[in-house]
Amino acid sequence: MSKQKKHKSGFVNIIGNPNVGKSTFLNAVVGEELAITTPKAQTTRHRILGIVNSDDYQVVFSDTPGIIKPAYEMQEAMMDFVKESFEDADILLYMIEAGEKELKNEKFFLKLKNATIPVFLLINKVDKINQEKLEKIIEYWREKLPNAKLFPISALHKFGIEQVFNEILENLPEGPAYFEKDQLTDKTERFIVNEKIREKILKHYKKEIPYSVEVDTEDFKDEGNRIKIRSIIYVERDSQKGIIIGHKGSGLKTIGSEARKDLEKFFGKKIYLELYVKVNKDWRKKDAQLRRFGYKN
């Protein structure tokens, strides 16, 4: 028998409640700021793949929106992304944050308990608690999810990530690569731009504003030494347009300059970013608009 290593590949899907650190973990394990992260719940609206490649393996991570009870159509579409990620997983990473008790959605929790694939329970944000508290948490979850392997981690401080990754490699099935070996994500450059702009809006605005916003990049031109981008921020109502733009355009200016800096780091090039705000009445409730923004097929 040949001793040659067989190629391994598979889908590793990250699920859990909103705000526990799923996107932070994805970025840490992939080593790129692929998914936006903010202190606000429901930052992630889509399923985002982050791919880690080597000659011997391809691990396809998938970040998902946090599990919630959907209140409107866009959120229903968001939960469809979570359902999908149960279905095609080779390994499930269920993330909780230290202190949190079980899923807000019982159905998902039962699915997790009865999963026939490996389930890793990632206890995140352990930087915020002491050893004693951690031991209690571990005890609790051991009982609650006896089939899961437990990993205390801190995604933000990149603590424990390597152990998780090594265990993933151990459990990954043999198989061919699903994507090109130089591919980092399934998302387009335009998507990355949209999300980065949305991250800044989530950061700087309160209440309904962040949730009423969608971004569409109409133009992305790589000119070699710089990238020229034109993006539109869509809001649901006229009043929101003025709020986003701010006094003498100060709001828009802040979003633009912060997003530009991050995008320059991500793409490794100078960025020229033009931003506009437009009203798209009640887009979150309209099928055609949800399709346009990639929430539905």
Residue of 124, 217, 231, 240 interacting with ligand GDP (CB under 6 A): 124
Residues 33-52: x/- map of binding to ligand GDP (CB under 6 A)?
----xxx---xx--------
Q: Please, which residue, 8 or 125, has the CB nearer to ligand GDP?
A: 125
Nearest 10 degrees: Cα torsion 4, 10, 13, 14? 20
State the nearest-atom distance from the C-beta of 292 to Mg ion, in Å.
22
Of 110-118, 150-158, 189-197, 243-251: span binding ligand GDP (CB under 6 A): 150-158
Under rule CB under 6 A, residue 13 binds ligand GDP: no
Strand partners, 272: 228
Q: By CB under 5 A, how many residues form the interface with Mg ion?
A: 4
Provide the CA 213 distance to its chain's centre, in angstroms.
17
Residue of 66, 160, 251, 256 interacting with ligand GDP (CB under 6 A): 66
Residue of 13, 75, 85, 154 interacting with ligand GDP (CB under 6 A): 154
Under rule CB under 6 A, residue 289 binds ligand GDP: no
Residues 10-29: x/- map of binding to Mg ion (CB under 5 A)?
------------xx------
Under rule CB under 6 A, residue 9 binds ligand GDP: no
Residue of 27, 44, 62, 124 interacting with Mg ion (CB under 5 A): 44
Residue of 12, 15, 22, 199 interacting with ligand GDP (CB under 6 A): 22
Task: Count the Cβ atoms, other than its own, within 10 Å of residue 31.
Answer: 12
Of 68-76, 153-161, 234-242, 288-296: span binding ligand GDP (CB under 6 A): 153-161
